[in-house]
Amino acid sequence: MKIIKELKNKDHKPNFGIIELLKFIGPGLLVTVGFIDPGNWASNIAAGSQYGYKLLWMVTLSTLMLIMLQHNVAHLGIVTGDCLAESANKNLKGWLAKPILITAIIAAISTALAEILGGAIALELLFKVPVKMGAVVILALILYMLFSNSYMKLEKWIIGFVSIIGLSFLYELSLVHVSWSEAAYGWTHVQIPQGSMPIVMSVLGAVVMPHNLFLHSEIIQSRQWNLEDDAVIKKQLKYEFTDTFLSMLVGWAINSAMIILAATTFYAHHAEVTELGQAKEMLTPLVGNGAGLIFAIALLFAGIASTITAGMAGGSIFSGMFNEPYDIKDMHTKVGVTTILGLATAVIFLISDPFKGLIYSQMLLSVQLPVTVFLQIYLTSSKKVMGKYRNSILDQILLWGIGIVLAVLNFMLFMSFFN
């Protein structure tokens, strides 16, 4: 049984009014969690602390690319009823599909490693729990939540977590003086200060995460109705875009808030920050005890929320290798979720430096991301797969352009780790 079975009813034809539109909001917010995960926190804080408002344009550009790609992969799920992994397994030769999906699983493990590590760092900041022990605590909590809650309950949890993160940064921003004119200029004008390219590449090149593309194509189906009705499909595609656009806008706002907070505190006091723990400790004397505490709490919720979605994405990819959808009651999904999260936690025990763990995970993601993006573009451009809903010529040009830019940036990011 797919997660869409919780809501799907082929005989139900919704009215598609405001109420139905509001009910459609949700899948995009789960994807947004990957846009505000601990890895993004580190990059954004480094950007703001070292270059002030100058790199805010990165958030704008990366969000535009993200909207295009997530909107496109969601179409695959709506039109075909298959997630990206299932579609790859059905429409590619086995000798090609299996290696691609195996690399996606490796990327999911790398993603989960960063998310669990972020939550563990937050536990250390809040309760002085050692990082490795904290990783086990996060793993146990996430497995409990995934195995004991339905998709709809998890969606509500995630929306709650995102709300807490957003409110936390609103509170943080209320404590500092923000130059909104400088922020507006930073959002709309491309500036690349000397020495900033590694940070530019890390934000732009890693903001679109492979597991989120697989995840979105799966969870968007929780909003499916009658796929045999062409009018219903078209309405769904429009509603999906609204959900994706609004959700990515939330991610844009939170990521911007991170850079602005770092710019108004660390950059203004000439304090360069390179690690999450360092940011919390430095916020306290600069802004007050409440700021440091709120920062750590928000980081904890970000780690928990992003680990949940990483586990779901991993389960979807693993099940797709067997031509099955994500279903937490199915053995393949259970094995996929447990194995991916378990291996990610095990790797944390093998890494002595948590910061290096984040770097290694980003290296693997930078290698795999172009593979997933080009796979998605191929499938959504195929008439055999998408029928009349395949990508238009303009869509293909835009998508291939984004894919090439991301591939180049990620290659440059990968090479920068060796410099």
User: For residues 9 and 135, which has the higher predicted lDDT (pLDDT)?
Assistant: 135
User: Other CB atoms closer than 10 Å to residue 192's CB: what's the count?
Assistant: 14
At residue 273, what are phi and psi to the nearest 5 degrees?
-115, 130
Q: How many residues are given for the chain?
A: 419
Give the lowest-confidence range in 13-22, 190-199, 246-255, 323-332.
13-22
Percent of the chain with pLDDT over 70: 92
- Are 142 and 389 a contacting pair, CB within 8 Å? no
Give the lowest-confidence range in 138-152, 186-200, 201-215.
201-215
Give the lowest-confidence range in 41-50, 92-101, 316-325, 349-358.
349-358
Give the span between the Cα atoms of 94 and 88, in whole angstroms.
9
Would you give the distance in Å from CA 188 to the centre of its chain? 23
Report pLDDT for 205: 62
Residues 376-395: tens digit of each pLDDT? 999 999 999 999 999 999 99
For the chain, the average pLDDT equals 89
Give the lowest-confidence range in 258-267, 288-297, 324-333.
288-297
User: For residues 295 and 12, which has the higher predicted lDDT (pLDDT)?
Assistant: 295
Report pLDDT for 226: 60
Residues with Cβ within 8 Å of 339's Cβ and at least 6 positions away in sequence, in order, are 314, 318
Give the lowest-confidence range in 12-26, 300-314, 331-345, 346-360.
12-26
Give the span between the Cα atoms of 77 and 255, in whole angstroms.
27
Q: Which residue has the tokens 């004991």?
A: 148
CATH numbers and ranges of domains, the chain: 3-416 (1.20.1740.10)
Alpha carbon distance, N-terminus to C-terminus of the chain: 48
Assigned token pair, 294: 């709120």
- Are 112 and 135 a contacting pair, CB within 8 Å? no
21 φψ region: left (φ > 0), alpha (ψ -120 to 50), beta (else): alpha
- Are 187 and 56 a contacting pair, CB within 8 Å? yes
Report pLDDT for 232: 77
- In the predicted structure, residue 22 carries a pLDDT above the cut 90: no
- Are 262 and 48 a contacting pair, CB within 8 Å? yes
The residue among 70, 107, 264, 124 whose CA lies nearest residue 180 is: 264
Give the span between the Cα atoms of 260 and 276, in whole angstroms.
16
Maximum average pLDDT range among 238-242, 275-279, 323-327: 323-327
The residue among 383, 396, 323, 341 whose CA lies nearest residue 135 is: 341
Q: For the purposes of burial, counting CB atoms within 10 Å of the CB of 331, is it exposed (0-12), middle (13-18) or buried (19 or more)?
A: exposed
Report pLDDT for 224: 63
Instruction: Give the DSSP H/E element, type plus range, for residue 37.
Output: none
What band does 417 get if pLDDT is binned at 50, 70 and 90? low
Q: Which residue has the tokens 């530019």?
A: 200
- In the predicted structure, residue 268 carries a pLDDT above the cut 60: yes
What band does 8 get if pLDDT is binned at 50, 70 and 90? very low
Residues 206-253: tens digit of each pLDDT? 678 899 999 999 999 887 656 667 877 888 888 899 999 999 999 999
At position 395, the amino acid (one-letter code) is D
pTM, 2 dp? 0.91
Residues 34-93: tens digit of each pLDDT? 889 887 888 899 899 999 999 999 999 999 999 999 999 999 999 999 999 999 999 999
- In the predicted structure, residue 401 carries a pLDDT above the cut 90: yes
Give the span between the Cα atoms of 369 and 104, in whole angstroms.
8
